[in-house]
Amino acid sequence: MKRLVVLIIVLSLLVLGGTFVSAEGQTRRRHKSKFGRKARTVAIIAGGAGVGALVAGKKGAAIGAGGAGLYAFNRRAARRHFKGRTRTAGTVLSGTALGAGVGAAAGGKRAAAIGAAAGAGGSYLYTRHRRRHARRY
């Protein structure tokens, strides 16, 4: 009987606490980060490289940095804060690193070179396809 009463009290406190928190969150203004947009992009890429290095060494670092770079340069914040040429270069270089890492993991230096070429070509084609603009004459 005591357990049931304690359970009911705890659940009612959770429900009341949740309603106060959600009501307060609707009126609060969003905090503007002092951590720069470009620094955040660098941190995303470095984090991907670090996790990849922990998991699989040098090849994993290349795979992690490449994948994180592809994400970082193609997100909405990067579209606002980087020039188009910079984003294209970052995307192609990230694809190159990703392809080289996958190729090296699959079969050594020659496969890494082939993977780098394939990654560069594929990521360049991705950027060209993704950023088509309708021309108005």
pLDDT in tens, 49-58: 999 999 988 8
User: Within a domain: residue 5?
Assistant: no
In tens, the pLDDT along 64-81 reads: 999 999 999 988 888 888
What is the pLDDT of the chain when averaged over all its residues?
Answer: 83
User: Within a domain: residue 18?
Assistant: no
**Number of domains present in the structure of the chain:** 1
User: For residues 3 and 6, what is the distance between their CA atoms, to the nearest angstrom?
Assistant: 5
User: Within a domain: residue 9?
Assistant: no
Cβ count within 10 A of residue 94: 25
In tens, the pLDDT along 75-106 reads: 888 888 888 889 999 999 999 999 999 999 99
User: Within a domain: residue 115?
Assistant: yes
Q: What is the pTM of this model?
A: 0.68
User: Within a domain: residue 19?
Assistant: no
User: Within a domain: residue 69?
Assistant: yes
The range of the structural domain enclosing residue 86 comes to 37-130
| Residue 31: per-residue pLDDT | 64
Q: What is the 3 state secondary structure string of 61-79?
A: HHHHHHHHHHHHHCCHHHH
User: Within a domain: residue 91?
Assistant: yes
User: For residues 133 and 23, what is the distance between their CA atoms, to the nearest angstrom?
Assistant: 42
User: Within a domain: residue 52?
Assistant: yes
